[in-house]
Amino acid sequence: MSTFGFYFDSSACSGCKTCQVACKDKNDLQAGIRFRRVYEVAGANWNKTDEGAWEHDIVAYNLSIACNHCENPSCVKACPTTAMHSELDGIIQIDPKKCVGCRYCQWACPYGSPQYNRQKGIMQKCDFCRDYILDGKQPVCVTSCPMRALEFGPISQLIEKYGDNRSVFPLPDPSITKPALFIKPHPGAARASELGGSIINREEVKDEQ
Amino acid sequence: MSNSDWPLMVFTLSMQFSVGVVLLYDLFLLFPIALKKEKLPLRFQMILLVALVAALTGVVFSLLHPGNPVNAMKTLSNLNNSWLSREILFFISYSGMLLIVTGLQFRFPSAVRSYKWLLDLTCLTGLVLVYVMSRIYWLPSMPAWDSIFTPISFYLAMFLSGSCFLLLFQLNSGSWTSQKGLAVLIIAIPVIQVALLPVYMSWLEEAGDSARQSVSLLLNQYLPAFYLRLGFEILTIAFGFWAFFSIRSDTLKRRNLFIPALLAFITMVGALVIDRFLFYQQIVPIGNL
């Protein structure tokens, strides 16, 4: 079980993608690989008012998602080489010496977290900036966020502070993998599904490898 | 379809073809010969060789799939949890046994009864392999694959490809009862495939947003391929009927079987290739992330 987790305040996120860029910079990631991805979710309808005018009820918000170091990690179960493994501190890591780059973990992960590095022929992903944590620092995505929408800490503290909500549209049902991700949804998120909301920056966030 | 999916498509189809050929050869051809204590016709020895070549094709394409095949032997490290590890184990076992039994058949063609148990075991391993292969795709993160329809589709592909090949191969040498049996399979399996299509689509409609998007992909972006596959399946049924009614107990008249058997084989290949292409193409991950 993961002892650490992320808290994400979707209502505070402006979608500036500083977290995504800081992560790429810190991990020296090549083009097309993103350990952290900012999804732009939007949906809207046009409604006719009693006076005959038309008005929209647009919903738009952002979700900043990296590896959630799940309690029940489907990537670890799927990995045929045990390269994808859970450390004693609950952080899920990839052993590059064992990974064959079969990409099965990418299929199994409902959050699209493992990313394929074509140059190296192996998978890579967020490790909570483990080197920073060991130095007593916070992950780079957290410290770089200008809106303070991201927070990192022990799961028990995050739950105590923010509650245990791990779901928001369109993220998968958290019961599948029990992600260590706690979310304060945007106020409009509850309506996004019924408004036919979807991720509108798919081309930007998809795995290009 | 990503570049890494093409080797998987060839791998799954060639392995299912190989298992189908071996299984139906065992049931329809070898079993009656072993029962009557007859000598194995030389022509029949080639059947296992074709199945072996198909399995070896699978080996080559499976090695093209990983980014770093140097570590391929490490893929057996997670047998307790990973269906992919289990698939590789059964894949190695099946191919190894097939290699041995093919060698035995060429070396001792008249002693089929003595090593038929090994062929039976190869068939059983092959059947487990096809199931394990399907379980790889049975993932909650991929709703379009996450159902009983995946193993059903893999087993149907296995039986159909095997029966089409064997009917074509034993035109003048097989018994008319085994030919009739194979022709019935060539008719029945595409009928089941066509009948299952609306059931699968309506199941997808009920299986959440991502699954509904898979239906939308099939019926919009890939509609021509979808209809082409359906057309090939219907043609396979038609050629299956033609083959069935061409089979006579009179050996000379069996020559009439060549054209329908060949056409059924060609349309079967078309249907299975498009079907597997759509299988990989239709996936929309849960949450569409």
pLDDT per residue as tens, chain B (289 positions): 566 688 999 999 999 999 999 999 999 888 777 777 777 777 788 899 999 999 999 988 888 777 777 777 889 999 999 999 999 999 999 999 999 999 998 888 878 788 889 999 999 999 999 999 999 999 999 999 999 999 999 999 999 999 999 998 876 666 777 888 999 999 999 999 999 999 999 999 998 888 999 999 999 999 999 999 999 999 999 999 999 988 876 655 556 788 999 999 999 999 999 999 999 999 999 877 7
A20: in domain? yes
The answer to whether the Cβ–Cβ distance between A74 and B75 falls below 8 Å is: no
The answer to whether the Cβ–Cβ distance between B289 and A99 falls below 8 Å is: no
B81 to chain A, any CB pair closer than 8 A? The answer is yes
The answer to whether the Cβ–Cβ distance between A199 and B65 falls below 8 Å is: no
- Give the C-alpha distances (Å, rounded to integers) separating A140 from A65, A96, A146, A187: 14, 22, 12, 27
The answer to whether the Cβ–Cβ distance between B289 and A110 falls below 8 Å is: yes
Domain total in chain A: 1
| Bridge partner list, B253 | none
A107 to chain B, any CB pair closer than 8 A? The answer is yes
CA distance A60 to chain B (A): 16
- Cα separation of B41 and B174, whole Å? 10
A171: in domain? yes
CA-nearest of A102, A89, A78 to A155 is A89
A91: in domain? no
A104: in domain? no
Which structural domain, as residue segments, surrounds residue A24? 4-68+127-205
**pLDDT tens figures, A169-208:** 999 999 999 999 999 999 999 888 888 888 999 888 887 6
Nearest to B68 among A82, A122, A202 (CB): A122
Query: Which three-class secondary structure state does DSSP give residue A38?
Result: strand
Nearest to A100 among B74, B81, B287 (CB): B74
A115: in domain? no
Nearest to A176 among B65, B140, B288 (CB): B140
A100: in domain? no
CA-nearest of B134, B136, B22 to B78 is B136
A94: in domain? no
- Cα separation of B110 and B159, whole Å? 27
| Bridge partner list, A65 | A37
Query: Which three-class secondary structure state does DSSP give residue A39?
Result: strand
A13: in domain? yes
Q: Which residues of chain B are within 8 Å of residue A81 when distances are taken between CB atoms?
A: 71, 74-75, 77-78
